[in-house]
Amino acid sequence: MAEVPTAKLNNDKEMPMLGFGVFQMSNEEAEASVQSAIEVGYRSIDTATSYGNEEAVGRAIAKSGVPREELFITSKLWIADAGEEKAKEAVQRSLDKLGLDYLDLYLLHQPFGDVFGAWRGLEAMYDVGKLKAIGISNFNTVQTYDLYYNARIKPMVNQIETHPFNQQTEAHKFLKELGIVHEGWAPFAEGQHDIFSNEVLGEIAEKHGKTIGQVILRWNVQRGIVAIPKSVKKERMEENFDVFDFELTDDDMQGIASLDQGFKTVDHNDPEFLKYLYGRTL
């Protein structure tokens, strides 16, 4: 089984560069998929309160028989729980649903609501060892710096949309300067924008005898970005895990760089999106 490289967080904790995402999975799908993913070799699983499948993920973890210390489990705080006390309670709820004593990483899912109160809640849960690392998600560079500057414990990770059509080059540079690990969500742009039939990616894939999915994940890893692809199909989980036996050349990297066009699956600067988030009941 391939050895997955790790990123070192600012508290020296190691985080696998490749993990498995469970967004938009029903409970049945999440339980079966996480079981399969662990069999394939994934040790890092990314869920969230808002995905509604923490219990299913927890059941799959329990059934896997893999020692807890070999796993890296991430969940996220929903905006309805943004606030110091509410965040502490929400972390405990996530732990109870997952059936775990601690989480490896907990993220503020969105940069909205009482972010600073929520962050203090996460810091408190970090202090008592229930969270081994804490971070943020969907924070732009200004929001990231504001929290970074004011926080007692600096964020360790920022999970942001990152794929060949939205490469986040500036954000990546900025996060690196602050010592925050860049984790990319939707490495395949959720399958949108004909990503799996893109010509540039197709040519690079053919040259290496790999698939477009593998080229995208390799591109992430070579840029130092943690990737968390989602699939409900075991053969795709295997394909997506098999990215450590080839290397993209500088030309390949430049070819992929030319695809950046700021295409986003969601726009965090759109007030309609914020209305949608606040309108959600979990």
Residues making contact with ligand NAP (CB under 6 A)? 21-23, 46, 109, 137-138, 159, 185-191, 196, 213, 228-233, 236, 239-240
Report residue 125 as tokens.
């849960």
Please, which residue, 100 or 136, has the CB nearer to ligand NAP? 136
Is the CA virtual torsion 23, 226, 273, 167 positive or negative? negative
- Quick check: 244 and 2 in contact, CB under 8 A? yes
3-state secondary structure of 198: coil
Residue 171: CB minimum distance to ligand NAP, A: 14
Residues recognised as catalytic? 51
Q: Tokens 């905006």 appear where? A: 79
Residue 152: CB minimum distance to ligand NAP, A: 23
Q: Tokens 């649903």 appear where? A: 97
Report residue 218 as tokens.
């390799």
Please, which residue, 12 or 194, has the CB nearer to ligand NAP? 194
Strands 181-185 and 72-77: unpaired
Residue 15: CB minimum distance to ligand NAP, A: 14
Please, which residue, 59 or 85, has the CB nearer to ligand NAP? 59
Nearest to 23 by CA among 254, 279, 230: 230
Please, which residue, 16 or 187, has the CB nearer to ligand NAP? 187
Strand order in the sheet with 105-108: 20-21, 44-46, 72-77, 105-108, 134-137, 157-161, 181-185, 226-227
Please, which residue, 156 or 189, has the CB nearer to ligand NAP? 189
For 163-187, b where at least 16 C-beta lie within 10 A, e where not — what string?
bbbbbbeebbebbeeeebbbbbbbb
Nearest residue relative to ligand NAP (C-beta): 21
Residue 68: CB minimum distance to ligand NAP, A: 20
Residue 251: CB minimum distance to ligand NAP, A: 23
